[in-house]
Amino acid sequence: MMAYYLCLVLFCIGLYCVLRKRNIIKIIIGLTIAEYAVNLFFILVAYRIEGRAPIYSPDTQITNMVDALPQALVLTSIVIGLASMALLVGIAMRIYEKYGTFDITKIRELRG
């Protein structure tokens, strides 16, 4: 269970960064860290003690494979994470061009 708790701590670090920091790039970094933690949690749930990678080999019979379904889902999730992060960075760069700062409190002051 210790691995689950460490993974939870990693997620909480990302959550703290998203909630507390004022720099947009720091917020994106926090989101990335939280996303890593969630992906890692799925793979930790799928792990089996003394398991093997879910790949068949022609000569030997492998019976103790790890769970392949969360791996397939996380493979999708990683790539989607890259796309969403690219979109976030694009919006952040546009904000920097318009307001000249990454600070979210300054951006709120400059409304209008």
Partner 1 sequence: MVDLYVLLIFMIAGAIIAIEVKDLLSSVVAVGAVGLALSITFLVLKAPDLAITQLVVEILCLIILIRATIRKDLPFSTSGRWLLNSIITLAFIAVFLYVSIEALKDLPPFGYPIMRVAEVYLKEGLLKTGATNLVAAIILDYRAYDTLGEATVIFTGVLGVMTVMRRVGRKRQEETEKGD
Residues 88-107 within binding reach of partner 1 (CB under 8 A): 89-94, 96, 101-103, 105-106
Alpha carbon dihedral 7, 10, 11, 12, in 10-degree steps, equals 120
Residues 64-83 within binding reach of partner 1 (CB under 8 A): 65-69, 71-76, 78-83
Residues 36-55 within binding reach of partner 1 (CB under 8 A): 36, 39-40, 43-49, 51-55
Q: Tell me the C-alpha distance between 62 and 97, whole Å.
A: 56
Q: Is 2 in the site for partner 1 (CB under 8 A)?
A: yes
